[in-house]
Amino acid sequence: MFVTPSRGSGRGPVRVAIVGTGAIARVGHLPALTALAAEQPLEIVAAVDVAPAAVEAFCAEAGIPHPYTDLDRMLAEQRPDLVTLCTPPRLHRDQTVAALRAGAWVWCEKPPCPSLEDFDAIEAAEGAGDGGPYAAIVFQHRFGSGAGHVRELLARQAVGRPLVAHCQTTWYRDEAYYSAPWRGGWADEGGGPAMGHGIHQMDLLLDLLGPWAEIRAMAGRLVHDVETEDVSTALVRFRSGAMATVVNSVLSPDEVSRIRIDCERATVELTHLYGHRNADWRITPAPGVPDELVSAWTDFGADVPSSHEAQLRGLLADLRAGRRPRSSGGDGRKSLELVAALYKAAFTGATVRAGEIVPGDPYYSALHGGAPGWAPAPPPAAEATA
Ligand SMILES: NC(=O)c1ccc[n+]([C@@H]2O[C@H](COP(=O)([O-])OP(=O)(O)OC[C@H]3O[C@@H](n4cnc5c(N)ncnc54)[C@H](O)[C@@H]3O)[C@@H](O)[C@H]2O)c1
């Protein structure tokens, strides 16, 4: 049963609750909400964490009035307009659905949830008519002036047709990183670097190049003692005909996030690590392109870094207007579908086509697809008792 939002769509302050008060809540959500509260009517009314000391400390430090250890209780008592979800991925489906059912919009951290089945359950729980509530995924690398400028150049084919692309997430994660109990397993983290790390650049690539058509892939577990992969490579053909290579690694000491798109009239390249600004983009014209055109292409305008704040600003405007936000629904699902297809292609050796992973396909309900050597081992059989 949906509860009609009482605020948010009106002119009063948007009432926000933060769920999960760990690392990304502190470095991403709280600073973004604090900055936006200084420019528009917005209040952080509550925070939730299963760890009582953590949520008490978080609220005390940030001046948030109501700490909770129970999400349902917070939803019933505070009736927030927006819930920002900063918990481990295995919780995203149920917590998002609970918040939507309570009438709140949701801004859920990536990766969206552990499977396409989970995502479709979230989408089914969104408001049926216009106005939401909607659930959007945090994909902050799509936002900011650089991504916006390049998306517009590509959309109107100012630099010609895109032809060849590279999408690289080569990061480094050590054993200490994998000591967190929810990392490295399919059930908790959802997947390895394709899902947890590379999804940001793959999402940006899809946002820039449009729909993909087919994928072939490989995955390996080369260093870490984890259930998931720690490296993957893939070849992707886009519906436009453009072809891309994709690398997702947590084994790369010289860390970089990179997207490079060779178009008919220019190469467009982004090099950064965890966020980008105008100076991180480079446009190299093909021979013979007039200088005035190059000047227009390389004019990125005022520098708005990619960030949680940049995405959230747009989402809040959509919430107030009752519009579906970017990165929700099909627009939030597309990179999860590409990740599911990457795993299916890697674990079966087959070419996987867009749209083929539907209910009944083993990769619809779990990204490991039950593949031998990749799916979690079944629990040991209970010992026979006398
Ligand atoms: N967008 C980004 O750039 C980015 C960066 C880092 C992490 N993330 C994502 O953010 C999410 C959280 O990652 P993190 O690094 O902050 O993890 P974390 O372990 O630091 O924090 C998670 C918090 O959730 C709390 N929690 C666990 N179960 C809960 C429950 N049932 N109800 C309420 N709280 C609960 C934990 O106690 C902890 O405080 C993950 O999905 C991760 O992939 C996104």
**Percentage, residues of the chain above pLDDT 70:** 96
| Residue 290 resides in a domain | no
pLDDT digits (tens, 9 = 90+) for 304-328: 999 999 999 999 999 999 999 999 9
List the CATH number of the domain containing 160: 3.30.360.10
Are residue 29 and residue 120 in the same domain, yes or no? yes
**Percentage, residues of the chain above pLDDT 90:** 91
Are residue 122 and residue 221 in the same domain, yes or no? no
Are residue 149 and residue 65 in the same domain, yes or no? no
Mean pLDDT of 186-206: 96
Please name the residue whose Cα sits nearest to atom 38 of ligand 1.
22
Are residue 178 and residue 133 in the same domain, yes or no? no
DSSP 288-343: T--HHHHHHHT---S----SHHHHHHHHHHHHHHTPPPTTBHHHHHHHHHHHHHHH
Are residue 20 and residue 57 in the same domain, yes or no? yes
Q: Say what the pLDDT of residue 2 is.
A: 38
Tokens 């490989």 map to which residue? 218
Instruction: Find residue 285's DSSP bridge partners.
Output: 266
Residue 45: domain span: 14-140+310-326
pLDDT digits (tens, 9 = 90+) for 102-132: 999 999 999 999 999 999 999 999 998 889 9
| Residue 302 resides in a domain | no
Are residue 320 and residue 206 in the same domain, yes or no? no
- Calpha distance 85→41 (Å, rounded): 20
Phi-psi region of 373 (alpha: psi -120 to 50; beta: other; left: phi over 0): left
For residue 180, what pLDDT band results from cuts at 50, 70 and 90? confident
Q: Say what the pLDDT of residue 193 is.
A: 98
Ligand 1 centroid from CA 102, angstroms: 21
| Residue 25 resides in a domain | yes
| Residue 36 resides in a domain | yes
| Residue 228 resides in a domain | yes
Residue 181 has pLDDT above 90, yes or no: no
Are residue 239 and residue 351 in the same domain, yes or no? yes
DSSP 88-136: -GGGHHHHHHHHHHTT-EEEEPSS--SSHHHHHHHHHTS-SSTT---EE
What's the mean pLDDT when you consider all of the chain?
95
List the CATH number of the domain containing 58: 3.40.50.720
Are 226 and 250 within 8 A, CB to CB?
no
Ligand 1 centroid from CA 86, angstroms: 4
pLDDT digits (tens, 9 = 90+) for 149-174: 999 999 999 999 999 999 999 999 99
**Residue of 70, 109, 200, 202 best suited for mutating to test ligand 1, as the one with most atoms within 8 Å of CB:** 109
Residue 384 has pLDDT above 60, yes or no: no
For residue 11, what pLDDT band results from cuts at 50, 70 and 90? low
| Residue 297 resides in a domain | no
What total number of domains does the chain contain?
2
> Is 209 near ligand 1, meaning CB less than 6 Å away?
no
- Calpha distance 207→201 (Å, rounded): 10
Are residue 151 and residue 241 in the same domain, yes or no? yes
Are residue 64 and residue 83 in the same domain, yes or no? yes
Closest CA to 15 of 63, 75, 77, 81: 81
Residue 247 has pLDDT above 60, yes or no: yes
- Calpha distance 240→161 (Å, rounded): 8
Are residue 196 and residue 269 in the same domain, yes or no? yes
Whole-prediction pTM: 0.95
Residue 8 has pLDDT above 90, yes or no: no
Task: Please state at what angle helix 71-78 crosses helix 92-101, rounded to 10 degrees.
Answer: 20
Are residue 238 and residue 353 in the same domain, yes or no? yes
pLDDT digits (tens, 9 = 90+) for 49-77: 999 999 999 999 999 999 999 999 999 99
Q: Say what the pLDDT of residue 378 is.
A: 79
| Residue 373 resides in a domain | yes
Residue 5 has pLDDT above 70, yes or no: no
| Residue 289 resides in a domain | no
- Calpha distance 90→328 (Å, rounded): 18
Closest CA to 104 of 15, 11, 12, 13: 15
Please name the residue whose Cα sits nearest to atom 5 of ligand 1.
24
Are residue 232 and residue 332 in the same domain, yes or no? yes
- Calpha distance 201→146 (Å, rounded): 14
